[in-house]
């Protein structure tokens, strides 16, 4: 076994909230070698912890309640966190997801992860449920349990302010708001006030533990193997070279050279994606937007809006600085709110997706999501499904509506009354009708969702899939594995579609490869994203790349300009390892395969690697004709993707793959077979083939 690489702290903090105990143990050298950090280490620790429950459950992956005390919440950092490696702020959370029932996996930037690592820990595993609300405080001396602050415990900002006042300004706070405290499956964990571990319902898991906050104050330096090479001003060093690449990249070059991310923030992507017919519209009905309407909500509009003040901000060690801190005032000049964002996904999912082209309600809804702890992609996707079904019901005479549609109209009337409307004729035409284009309804809907208020609020908080089933239109949920997909239409970019389909955590544009904006970077005509031939392998390579970023703890945006080879060089200067890009890709394959095993243990099959039906059935108009996802092509691409990873036609890894990747040491094939009834590399014992 290799000794631990430099850049790691060598310790894992274990917290049991039921007994109120915390202890530290050594980081397993074998796991550090196989998975490095971040998403890889977090997934491995989660798997290891769930396997320990086999004395209680035949298959703990299936049996453990995501919102119960047995579900571990793992927070993992990476060797590069806390060093001068550009964008090395990102840390990871893993858990069993209350939204999908499979792996929960999400990362965040800001400063919390770096500060936590500087307490002398690589990871934290939180289990149990505290008998009373509690704050966990961690520093280099260890962990202790403190009383919650005298503050509104539903408000992320109030909790953060109170804990910063209690522990000192250097402290970094992670918490959840109203949505997490009410166990919403689309609740986010928030850190540094405005940064989110957003996807998959980690906020609900956090809240289910009666955990109010985790405050961290670090003081332990992170050691590196070649500090000189990491000095940003050393012109022969790896970090200097990466900075040069970032200064030249089309999306990352400095604001004065109009790099989109530095000059406009992520909202600057909106116009570009709309131009290429990729941008969601009305719950993925089409991608048609009038250019003039997009201009009202894009990056330039945000930067120059008379009611919104914008300041550029950055995560730890990030020269890109895509973050926008904003303040919104009303017509009288009174402050409506302030905070981080809105980011691209928020503007797209609350704006273009809902046919709302007004930055003021979008920005206010964004602040609410920050303060009350909601994932804005899932929130926008859930409202999109609601508005679509409302439109279907509204178009019918009352007597022709189905039971689900009648329930929705009744719930919409209740919602409108709660908003103070007189509802003279029910929700039709009402000021608060949950209809596409109705900007008045947006902020009240987000508030109801976060607080779980009323039938509509509870339905929205449960996510698009459960909402659409409740109202009798499951086809309106634009979700994969139960997680709402982001703002890029898969019919227009098939590699991005593959990421949505196959990513273990559900409908996601990042973990399976963020290829949608590449059309812009690479030159649209050169990009193979729309061709079935090769698209699966292109998608697989993007998945390797983005998984490597998550393992390294760096931002995917830096990957637009800095290659994996260059990141491998920086990692080597931190760790002293001699890794190449291909070694990082091997780690990525190991992580993707372990995530696959996790989901198979949770009962997922190849049928879950599939897009919502409309993407196969309903072509959309694009500049050069129409675009759709042909089912036959997509089945073939899925099979090719599986094969390229060493998985069989069911998406079950071959025994040889597990051995090659060293995964036997983490999850023995025999244990996997016993728990699932599946055989690795052969036919299913119980006849479940899984593939559609």
Binding site for ligand SF4 (CB under 6 A): 87, 89, 109, 261, 314-315, 318, 320-323, 555, 557
Q: 376-394 and 454-461 helices cross at what angle (nearest 10)?
A: 130
Between 122 and 343, CB nearer to ligand SF4:
343
Least separation in angstroms between CB 405 and ligand SF4 = 41
Between 265 and 474, CB nearer to ligand SF4:
265
Least separation in angstroms between CB 493 and ligand SF4 = 21
Least separation in angstroms between CB 12 and ligand SF4 = 25
DSSP 52: G
Least separation in angstroms between CB 202 and ligand SF4 = 18
Between 249 and 321, CB nearer to ligand SF4:
321
Least separation in angstroms between CB 303 and ligand SF4 = 16
Pairing state of beta strands 625-627 and 483-484? unpaired
Q: 403-418 and 376-394 helices cross at what angle (nearest 10)?
A: 110
Least separation in angstroms between CB 151 and ligand SF4 = 27
CA–CA separation, 550 vs 510, rounded Å? Answer: 10
DSSP 186: T
DSSP 383: H
CB 349 within 8 A of CB 486: yes
Least separation in angstroms between CB 95 and ligand SF4 = 22
Residue with tokens 């178009």: 395
Cβ neighbours of 165 (radius 10 Å): 12
Between 107 and 208, CB nearer to ligand SF4:
107
Q: Which two tokens stand for residue 284?
A: 């993925």
Strand locations in 475-619 (E): 479-480, 483-484
Between 243 and 406, CB nearer to ligand SF4:
243
Between 36 and 261, CB nearer to ligand SF4:
261
Least separation in angstroms between CB 161 and ligand SF4 = 22
Between 315 and 349, CB nearer to ligand SF4:
315
> What DSSP line would sit under 607-675, residue for residue?
GGS---THHHH--EEETTEEE---HHHHHHHHHHHHHHHTB-TTSPBPHHHHHHTTGGGTS-HHHHHHH
Between 109 and 404, CB nearer to ligand SF4:
109
Start-to-end Cα distance in the chain: 42
CB 81 within 8 A of CB 117: yes
Q: Which two tokens stand for residue 466?
A: 């459960």
Residue with tokens 């550009």: 86
Pairing state of beta strands 91-96 and 172-175? unpaired
Least separation in angstroms between CB 323 and ligand SF4 = 5
Between 320 and 368, CB nearer to ligand SF4:
320
Least separation in angstroms between CB 271 and ligand SF4 = 18
CA–CA separation, 197 vs 199, rounded Å? Answer: 6
Between 156 and 261, CB nearer to ligand SF4:
261
CA–CA separation, 136 vs 280, rounded Å? Answer: 40
Could you tell me which of 601, 600, 562 has the C-alpha nearest to residue 584? Answer: 562
């Amino acid at each position: 076994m290799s000794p631990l690489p430099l850049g790691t702290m060598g310790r894992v903090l274990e917290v049991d909230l039921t007994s109120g105990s915390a202890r530290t143990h050594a980081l397993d050298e074998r796991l550090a070698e196989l998975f490095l950090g971040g998403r890889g280490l977090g997934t491995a620790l989660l798997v290891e912890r769930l396997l320990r429950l086999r004395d209680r459950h035949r298959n703990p992956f299936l049996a453990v309640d995501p919102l119960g005390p047995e579900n571990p919440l793992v927070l993992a950092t990476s060797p590069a966190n806390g060093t001068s490696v550009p964008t090395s702020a990102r840390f990871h959370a893993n858990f069993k997801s209350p939204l999908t029932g499979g792996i929960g996996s999400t990362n965040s930037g800001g400063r919390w992860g770096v500060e936590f690592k500087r307490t002398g820990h690589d990871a934290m595993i939180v289990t149990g449920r505290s008998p009373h609300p509690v704050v966990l405080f961690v520093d280099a001396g260890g962990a202790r349990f403190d009383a919650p602050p005298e503050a509104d415990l539903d408000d992320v900002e109030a909790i953060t302010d109170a804990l910063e006042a209690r522990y000192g300004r250097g402290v970094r706070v992670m918490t959840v708001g109203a949505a997490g405290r009410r166990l919403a499956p689309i609740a986010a964990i928030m850190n540094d006030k405005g940064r989110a571990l957003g996807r998959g319902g980690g906020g609900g898991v956090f809240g289910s533990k009666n955990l109010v906050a985790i405050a961290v104050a670090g003081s332990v330096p992170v050691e590196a193997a070649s500090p000189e090479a990491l000095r940003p001003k050393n012109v022969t060093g790896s970090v200097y070279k990466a900075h040069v690449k970032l200064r030249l990249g089309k999306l990352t070059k400095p604001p004065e050279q109009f790099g989109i991310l530095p000059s406009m923030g992520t909202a600057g992507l909106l116009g570009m994606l709309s131009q290429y017919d990729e941008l969601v519209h009305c719950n993925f009905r089409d991608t048609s937007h009038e250019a003039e309407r997009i201009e009202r909500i894009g990056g330039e509009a945000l930067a120059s809006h008379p009611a919104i003040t914008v300041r550029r901000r950055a995560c730890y060690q990030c020269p890109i600085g895509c973050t926008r801190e904003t303040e919104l005032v009303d017509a009288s000049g009174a402050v409506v709110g302030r905070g981080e964002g809105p980011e691209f996904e928020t503007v797209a999912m609350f704006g273009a997706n809902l046919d709302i082209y007004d930055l003021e309600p979008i920005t206010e809804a964004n602040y609410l999501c920050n303060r009350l702890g909601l994932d804005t992609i899932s929130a926008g996707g859930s409202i999109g499904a609601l508005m679509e079904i409302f439109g279907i019901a509204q178009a019918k005479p009352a007597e022709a509506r189905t039971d689900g549609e009648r329930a929705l109209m009744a719930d919409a009337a209740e919602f409108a009354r709660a908003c103070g409307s007189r509802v003279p004729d029910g929700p039709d035409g009402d000021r608060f009708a949950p209809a596409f284009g109705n900007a008045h309804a947006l902020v009240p809907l987000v508030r109801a969702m976060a607080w779980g208020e009323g039938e509509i609020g509870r339905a929205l908080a449960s996510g698009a899939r459960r909402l659409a089933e409740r109202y009798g239109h499951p086809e309106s949920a634009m979700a994969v594995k139960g997680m709402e997909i982001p703002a890029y239409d898969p019919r227009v970019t098939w590699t991005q579609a593959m990421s949505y389909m196959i990513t273990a955590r559900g409908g996601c544009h990042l973990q399976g490869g963020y290829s949608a904006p590449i059309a812009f970077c690479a030159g649209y005509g050169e990009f193979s994203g729309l061709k079935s031939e090769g698209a699966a392998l292109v998608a697989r390579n993007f998945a390797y790349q983005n998984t490597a970023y998550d393992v390294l703890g760096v931002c995917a945006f830096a990957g637009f300009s800095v290659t994996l080879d260059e990141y491998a060089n920086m990692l080597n200067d931190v760790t002293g390892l001699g890794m190449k890009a291909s070694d990082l890709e091997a780690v990525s394959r190991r992580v993707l395969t372990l995530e696959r095993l996790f989901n198979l243990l949770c009962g997922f099959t190849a049928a879950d690697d599939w897009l919502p039906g409309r993407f196969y059935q309903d072509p959309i108009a694009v500049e050069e004709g129409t675009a759709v996802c042909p089912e036959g092509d997509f089945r073939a691409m899925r099979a090719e993707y599986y094969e390229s990873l060493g998985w069989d036609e069911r998406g079950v890894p071959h025994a040889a793959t597990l051995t090659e990747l060293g995964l036997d040491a983490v999850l023995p094939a025999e244990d996997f077979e016993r728990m699932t009834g599946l055989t690795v590399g052969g036919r299913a014992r119980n006849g479940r083939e899984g593939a559609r």
